[in-house]
Amino acid sequence: MKAGAVHEVPLSDRAVSILTDLHTHETKPHQFVFPAQRSGSLSDMTMSAILKRMKHSDITVHGFRSTFRDWAGEETQFEREVTEMALAHTVASSVERAYRRGRALEKRRELMMAWAEYCFTESQRDQG
């Protein structure tokens, strides 16, 4: 993370299934799921280049985050703070943050399950 803070992401069952399929016995828990060729994780520039190669130059990497935020705000009843925490955004004022130390993992897990359902349903409609 940019700020150096740990950001835990509760995964949907669908995401866990995909990661399980990718898992090999050589994979270690501390390793990146999608490592960069040289070291570390994939950068925004690498992901942008992939989109360009896929002939999706009109799509931005940040746009994926924006799409999630728009969907959560317009199509669900999840609290704004839960959605912002899912995106690792700073929530509220410094005073409120001093008192709010929870991470809302279960609420965020529900949000991620709803997002996976939405994405999977949409992709099925596009294919059918």
Q: DSSP assignment of 15-81, as one string?
A: HHHHHHHH--TT--TTS-SSB-SSSSBPPHHHHHHHHHHTT-TT--HHHHHHHHHHHHHHH----HH
Residue 106, pLDDT score = 94
- The answer to whether the beta carbons of residues 33 and 41 sit under 8 Å apart is no
Of the pLDDT bands very low, low, confident and very high (cuts 50, 70, 90), residue 126 is low
Please tell me the predicted confidence (pLDDT) of residue 22.
Answer: 78
pLDDT digits (tens, 9 = 90+) for 14-34: 888 888 887 776 777 677 777
What pTM was computed for the model?
A: 0.76
Q: Read off the pLDDT of residues 36-80 as tens digits, 9 standing for 90 and up.
A: 777 777 788 888 888 999 998 888 988 999 999 999 999 999 999
State residue 19's pLDDT score: 84
Q: CB–CB of 75/85 below 8 Å?
A: no
Q: pLDDT at position 38, please?
A: 78
